Amino acid sequence: MRLQNKIAVVTGGARGIGKGVSELFAKEGATVIIWDLLEDGEQTASNINSKGHQAEFTKISVTDKPAIEKEAERIHQKYGKIDILINNAGITKDRTLHKMSEAEWDAVVDVNLKGVFLCTQVVSKYMKDAGYGRIVSAASNVGLRGNFGQTNYAATKAGVIAMSKTWTMELGKYGITANALAPGFTLTEMTEQIPKEHLDGIKKQIPLQKAATPLDIAYGYLYLASDEASYVSGICLTIDGGISR
C-alpha cells in the first residue's frame, strides 16, 4: 500500500473530491482525518472504518486558526506526526464582475485562499520538526485559464498555485514537498443539479469528451502525497481531460 502508516489530514473531505481522496488514501493504508463543516464527514469516516480502514472526522472550519491549532496538536499527540496535508476545502459564489458583491468576494477568498494558508501554516510546523511532509493544495484549471463569472474563485486558485511554489522554496530543506492540483470539471454532489443538456455541452468542450470522477482526481492526489513523488515539488498537476492544453 502506497501510504502505509501515514497520517493524512484531508480538508473538505466529507464529500465530492475530498471524499474520494479520503477513501482512496485510507484504502492505501493511511489513517485519514477529515476536516469539514459538513456533518457528512461523520458518515464518510464511518464508511471507511466499516471496510477495515482508518478514518476520523472533526467538524472544523479552515478559517478558524485557534481551532486548527488545537486539532493539529490533538492529532500530533495521538499519532506522533502529521505526514500529509490535503488542502481540498473550497467554496464558490459565482457572479460576473459588476454583479459580484464584496461579501461574495470575501467569502471565497477567506475559505479558498486564507483557509489553505492557515492550515498549511499550522500543520507544516509539525512536518518541519519531523523532517518530512507532503502538502497538496486544490487549485483548479480555472486558476490557469480563468472562467466567466468566477473572478473570486479563479483568483484564489491562482493564488494557491503561487503559494505552493513559494512553500516549495521555504520548506524543501525540511523534507517537505508542496504541490498544487488543478482538477477540471468533476462529477460531484454539486453537479447533480446541472441540467443534462448543459452537462452534455460541457463534456463536448473537453477533449476526452467526459467529466472526471472524484476517483480520477484522487489518484493525482495519491501520487503527489506518496513517496513516489519525493522529488516532485512546486508543480501544478492539471487533471482536466485536456481542456487546458
How many Cα atoms within 13 Å fall on the side-chain side of residue 241?
18
Q: What angle do CA 228, 30, 192 make, to 5 degrees?
A: 95
Measured over the CA atoms of residue 155, residue 157, residue 161 and residue 166, the dihedral's sign is positive
**Cα torsion at 18, 185, 193, 34 (round to 10°)?**
0
Is residue 153 annotated as part of the catalytic site, yes or no? yes
8 Å CB contact between 67 and 35: no
Maximal CA-CA distance, the chain:
52
In the 8-state DSSP scheme, what is residue 106? Answer: H
Q: Give residue 235's identity as a one-letter amino acid code.
A: I
Choice among 153, 174, 219, 231 that is catalytic: 153
CA distance 153 to 151: 6
8 Å CB contact between 176 and 135: yes
Q: Which residues are catalytic?
A: 153
